[in-house]
């Protein structure tokens, strides 16, 4: 089985993906980790040196490769901005959009000192909310399942995904 998690940064893709993979005894793959290994530097460094467009090209290559694998796949928040990526995602049976209220993802991003997100560091909260609104239609376009994560624990979200995907399997 394969479940792909999409959503804006701070929606919980990595956290939920890790828990979901444990609960379902599946491999967990994080596209950002895969990209970091491939480019041999942090995403922030890569952004600074090569820019977002070049990063998105690498992201598309990685998504195409990983879309063939079984397991739980957490994508980067901007993966849906590329039309080719949306075409890949729409071909997959279980793409779960982790929908998060803007106030909630801003709170989560501010509290997260582990994951450095280049776009978050360079923009105000208002700009981040605008960016979310620009991307939201794309998340909905590729999703076969939409799970609202706002004010839910990671465990509640995982249970909801298992119920939703299991009902449609």
Which CA distances in Å does 148 have to 106, 119, 126?
Answer: 15, 23, 21
Check if the beta carbon of residue 5 is closer than 8 Å to that of residue 19. no
Binding site for substrate, residues?
A: 32, 56, 77, 135
Binding site, residues?
A: 10-15, 32, 56, 77, 117, 135
Binding site for ATP, residues?
A: 10-15, 117
Distance in angstroms (rounded) separating the CA atoms of residues 141 and 136: 9
Q: Cα-Cα-Cα-Cα dihedral of 141, 147, 153, 158, to 10°? A: -100
Binding site for Mg(2+), residues?
A: 14
What pairs with residue 74 in β-bridges?
Answer: 5, 30
Which CA distances in Å does 3 have to 41, 71, 96, 107?
Answer: 27, 6, 7, 26
Residue 151 gets which letter from DSSP? T
């Amino acid at each position: 089985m394969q479940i792909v998690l999409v959503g804006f940064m701070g929606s919980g893709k990595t956290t939920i993906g890790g828990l979901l993979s444990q609960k379902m005894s599946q491999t967990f793959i994080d596209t950002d980790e895969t990209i970091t290994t491939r480019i041999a530097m942090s995403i922030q460094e890569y952004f600074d040196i090569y820019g977002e467009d070049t990063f998105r090209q690498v992201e598309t290559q990685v998504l195409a490769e990983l879309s063939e694998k079984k397991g739980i796949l957490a994508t980067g928040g901007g993966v849906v901005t590329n039309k080719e990526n949306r075409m890949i995602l729409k071909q997959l049976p279980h793409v779960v959009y982790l929908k998060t209220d803007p106030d909630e993802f801003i709170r989560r991003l501010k509290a997260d000192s582990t994951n450095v997100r280049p776009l978050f560091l360079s923009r105000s909260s208002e700009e981040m909310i605008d960016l979310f609104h620009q991307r939201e239609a794309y998340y909905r376009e590729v999703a076969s399942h939409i799970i609202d994560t706002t004010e839910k624990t990671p465990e509640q979200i995982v249970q909801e995904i298992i119920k939703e995907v299991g009902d449609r399997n």
